[in-house]
Structure 1
Amino acid sequence: MLQIAQNTKGGRVERTERFYTLAMFFAMLLWALSWPCSKILTHQAHPYLIALMRFSLVWACILPLMIVFRISFRLSRAQFVLVCVAGVCNALYSLLFFQGLAFGDAGRAGVITTTLSPIFGSLLSMLFGGVYVSAREKLGLILGLISGIFLLHIEDFSSLLNPFNLFFVGAAFAWTLVTLTSKRALLHPLQFNCYVSFVSALLFVPYLVLGEGIGASLAEADSVFWACFLVVSVLSVVVATSIFYKGIEVLGVHKGGSFLLLVPVFALVLSFFMLDETPDVRTLIGCALAIGAIYMLGIYRDSHLRWLKGLLR
C-alpha cells in the first residue's frame, strides 16, 4: 500500500512538473510577443498614453487577485521606499521601451533588453554586492561584453551613441534596477507588481492634461491595436508573470529560470512573422553569445556537465 501511495504521489508530482513546463513555454512566448505588439501600438498612440493605460490596467487586474488570494497590502517604511524607487525605474523603462521602438526593429530591441538586463544585474551584484566572482562568471561577463558589441552593432564609438542603442541599453539598465529592487523588497510578486504599477501609472497621469489628441487616437484605434494592448498589459504582465513565479516555485529556481533564455529567441521569431523583420548575422551571433553569458552567470551547474558527459558516452 505504501509503495502504491508513493507511486501515485510521484506520478502526481511528475504531471504537475510537466504541466508547468508547458506553462513556462507559454509564459515566455507571451513575454516575447509583447515586443512586436508594442511596436504595433506605437504606430497608433503616443508612448506616454500607452504606458499610462498599460500600468492602469495591470494595477486594476492585480488588485482583485490580491484580494482573492488574501495577499497582504501592508508595507514597511523601507518597502514603501523601495516600491517607489522601483515604480520610477519601471516608468523610465516603459518610456525608453516605447520611445526606442521608433528607431529600430522590435526583435533586436527585445534581444538587447532581455539579455543585457540579467548581465547588468550580475555585474552590479559583483561590483557593489561584495559577491565573489568565479572563473565561470568572469567568462560569462566576457561573453556578455562581446554579445553587446554584436547586438548594438558597434563599429566605432559614435555607433554606440545612436538613439536605438541609447534607448534600449537604458531600458535594460532601468529594468535591472527594478529587478534588484524587487529582490530587496521581499514582497509577494503580485503585491510588488501591484504597487509598482500604481506608482508608474501616477507618473504618467499628467499626460492626460498636457497631451493632445488623446481622444482622437483612441477613437481611431483598430481591433489590432486593442488586441496588442491586451497582450502587452494583461497577458504579458499579469498572466505570464504569475505563471513564471509559480513555475519557479514548482520547478525550482535554476530549472525555472532557464526558460528565460527562450525569450530573446521567441522575440526574434515572432518579430519575423508579425513585422517581417529579418535579423542580420550580427544580431543572431549576439543573441547566441548573450544566451551563453546568461547561462554561465546564473544557470550553469556542475550537474549539467556530468549530464552532458553521460549523454556523450
Structure 2
Amino acid sequence: MNKNLFYILMIFAMIFWGASWINVKVLSNYINEYEVVFLRVGISLISMIPILFYLKLSFKITIKTAVLVLFASLVLVLYSIFFFLGVKNGTAGLGGALVTTLIPINTFIIIALMQHKIISLKHSFALILGGFGVLTMLNIWEFNISDIFSIQNIYFLLASFLWPALTIISSKATKTNPLIFTFYVYIVSSIIVYLFFIDYSLFEKIINFDYIFWLNIFVLSILATTFATSIYFIGIEKLGTKEVSSFIFLVPSSALVFSAVFLDEKITFNTLLGTICTVVAIYILNDLKINFIKKLIP
C-alpha cells in the first residue's frame, strides 16, 4: 500500500476514535451501558472476520494467551462501562480530551513503577505538565469540590487507568498477533456482557430505532473499532510504534471539535488549555517526532 495513502487512513482512524465519544453520548439516549458494550464488540468481532481471513492470520492461541484474553476482556468491559457512564453524565468533549490524553501518561507512570525505572528530569517535567493539564481540565483551580469530584470525572479517571491495564495485559501475549488477540477479547467480552446483562428484548427494541441510532452504531463499531483498530495495528507493523503513536494527538482534538459541532458542547478555556498541556506532555514522554504532515505534502 502506498505510504501516503496509509497516512491518510491513519488520520481517519484517529478521527473516528475521537468521534466514538460523540457516538456514545448519542446512543445513551437509546440504550444502557451494557447494551452499548454488547452491540459495539459484537458487531466489531463479526466485521473483523473477513479482515483476519484476508490477512491470513492464524486463530491458534496458547493457554497462556487464553488466560490473558479472559483478564483483558474483563478489563475491557469495565473500561467500556465507565466510558459510557462518564459520557452519559458529563460531556463527550471533556471525556475525549481527558481520557485519551491521560491514558498514555498513566501508562508511562505504571510501567515506570513496575520496572522500577528512574524518571529523568525531562520526563518529570512532562509528568508535572501533564498533571497540570489534567487538573485544569477537571477545573480544580475553581476549588469547587462538587465539580472536581463529580461522578463523570470519577468515571473518566477510572477509565483512564483501566485502559493502560488493558494495554499491559495485551502486551504479555507476545506470541499472538494483536488483531487475533483483540478478536478473542471481543468474543469473550460480548459473551460476558450477554450472559449477565442482556436479555432478548434488546433485539426487539433496536429494530424500531431510527437512522440516527444505526448511524452512530455503525460509526462506533465498524469505523471507530474495526477499521480504526485494524489500521492502527497494521500501522505499527508497517511504520513502527513511534510514528504511529504520533497520530494519537488527533483523537482529543477531533473529540472536542465533534462535540462542539454535533452536540453543541462548549469548548471551555480550561479544557482547551488542559488538552494542550497534556498533549505536549505526551509528546515529551514518548520522544515523538511528528513528521507525517511533512510527508503528506508532495
Q: Using structure 1 for the length normalisation, give the TM-score.
A: 0.86
Gaps of 5+ in 1: 1-14, 305-313
* Alpha-carbon offset, residue 215 of structure 1: 5.0
Take 1:203 and 1:81, find their aligned partners in 2: how far apart are those partners?
A: 15
Gaps of 5+ in 2: 292-298
Query: What is the match of residue 180 of structure 1?
Result: 168
Within 5 A, what are the aligned runs for 1:1-313?
Answer: 16-154=2-140, 155=143, 158-186=146-174, 187-205=176-194, 206-209=196-199, 214=202, 217-300=205-288
Query: What is the match of residue 3 of structure 1?
Result: none
Query: Structure 1, residues 168-207: CA drift from partner, whole Å, max 9, x if none?
Result: 1111111111111111212212101101111111121122
* Alpha-carbon offset, residue 158 of structure 1: 4.9
Take 1:131 and 1:198, find their aligned partners in 2: how far apart are those partners?
A: 36
Q: Residue 185 of structure 1 aligns to a residue in which SS?
A: coil
Q: Which amino acid aligns with 1:167?
A: Y
Q: Which amino acid aligns with 2:97?
A: V
- Residues 111 and 268, structure 1, Cα contact 8 Å, conserved in 2: yes
Query: Structure 1, residues 263-313: CA drift from partner, whole Å, max 9, x if none?
Result: 101110111111111111110011001101111111346x99xxxxxxxxx
Deviation above 4 Å: which 4+ runs of structure 1? Answer: none
Q: Which amino acid aligns with 1:182?
A: S
Provide closer, same or farther for how the CA distance between residues 107 and 133 of structure 1 changes in structure 2, counting only shifts above 3 A. same
* Alpha-carbon offset, residue 251 of structure 1: 2.8
RMSD in angstroms over aligned alpha carbons? Answer: 2.0
| Identical positions, percent | 32
* Alpha-carbon offset, residue 156 of structure 1: 5.2
Query: Structure 1, residues 229-281: CA drift from partner, whole Å, max 9, x if none?
Result: 01111111110111122223333322221010111011101111111111111
Aligned length: 287
Query: Structure 1, residues 97-123: CA drift from partner, whole Å, max 9, x if none?
Result: 112212111011111110111111000
* Alpha-carbon offset, residue 39 of structure 1: 0.6
Q: Residue 149 of structure 1 aligns to a residue in which SS?
A: helix
Q: Using structure 2 for the length normalisation, give the TM-score.
A: 0.90
Take 2:207 and 2:53, find their aligned partners in 1: how far apart are those partners?
A: 33
- Residues 257 and 299, structure 1, Cα contact 8 Å, conserved in 2: no
Q: Which amino acid aligns with 1:268?
A: L
Q: Which amino acid aligns with 2:247?
A: F
> Which structure's CA Rg is the greater one?
1
Take 1:156 and 1:142, find their aligned partners in 2: how far apart are those partners?
A: 22
- Residues 30 and 235, structure 1, Cα contact 8 Å, conserved in 2: yes
Q: Which amino acid aligns with 2:64?
A: A
